[in-house]
Amino acid sequence: MTFGGILSPSTSALVIALVGIAGTLASALLTQRSANSSKMRELERVDEQRREDRAYQAEQAGIEARRSCYVALNIAARLYQTALTNYLVAIRAGAVTDEIRADVDEMRREHRSRHAEAQMVVPDSVLEAAGAVNGNLGKFYGILKSIDLGTANADETIEAAEARRVRSWDFLSEMRAVMRRDLGIAP
């Protein structure tokens, strides 16, 4: 088959054909491998985008849940504060009625319910501000209730109740500001 180290024409043709076939097969395999690699990168990008979308949606759902909780807590705290103010006015006037007492008790229950709900949803900074509001309103209520029942101590006076009423606005404003900061809303 060799003629002085040179391939015969038929062997040469066979070698060339085999090299051509091997090249064609290798080309097809490399093309397929490249396509598979490209497809894998595309699938990874799609998966990453899907994860980012889910994370964004979860974050937005969390923000919306906190916002709804903040609205409910803020409304409940303000209504409770208003009911306590009405109670204070009625005590000063000597005109406390069962209706006023019932309104205070209802607003107190509603506020406590919203505060308990917030304890499961809100971050510590908001919970701290809400706790300050809750504590002040609770003390305001305690003073008024003691005065109304005739069991007030020396430090449970109309003046002390009025001081709690005035301070409650500061606590409510601070709570609202902390809530707004948490939601990314400028004060």
pLDDT at residue 4 in the model:
53
Enclosing H/E stretch for 126: helix 124-149
The pTM of the full predicted model, rounded to 2 decimals, is 0.75
Distance CA 80, CA 74 (A): 10
CATH classification code of 63-183? 1.20.1440
**What does pLDDT average to in each consecutive run of 10 residues of the chain (187 residues)?**
63 80 83 86 90 91 94 98 98 97 98 96 96 98 97 95 97 97 86
pLDDT at residue 30 in the model:
84
- Chain segment 158-167, per-residue pLDDT in tens: 999 999 999 9
Query: Residue 67: exposed, middle, or buried by beta-carbon count in 10 A (0-12, 13-18, 19+)?
Result: middle
Distance CA 76, CA 182 (A): 19
Return the closest-CA partner of residue 124 out of 41, 81, 182, 43: 182
pLDDT at residue 157 in the model:
96
Distance CA 79, CA 67 (A): 18
pLDDT at residue 131 in the model:
97
Q: What value, to the nearest 5°, has the Cα angle with vertex 135 and ends 134 and 138?
A: 85
Helix extents (H) in the chain: 9-93, 98-119, 124-149, 158-183
How is the chain split into domains, by residue range? 63-183
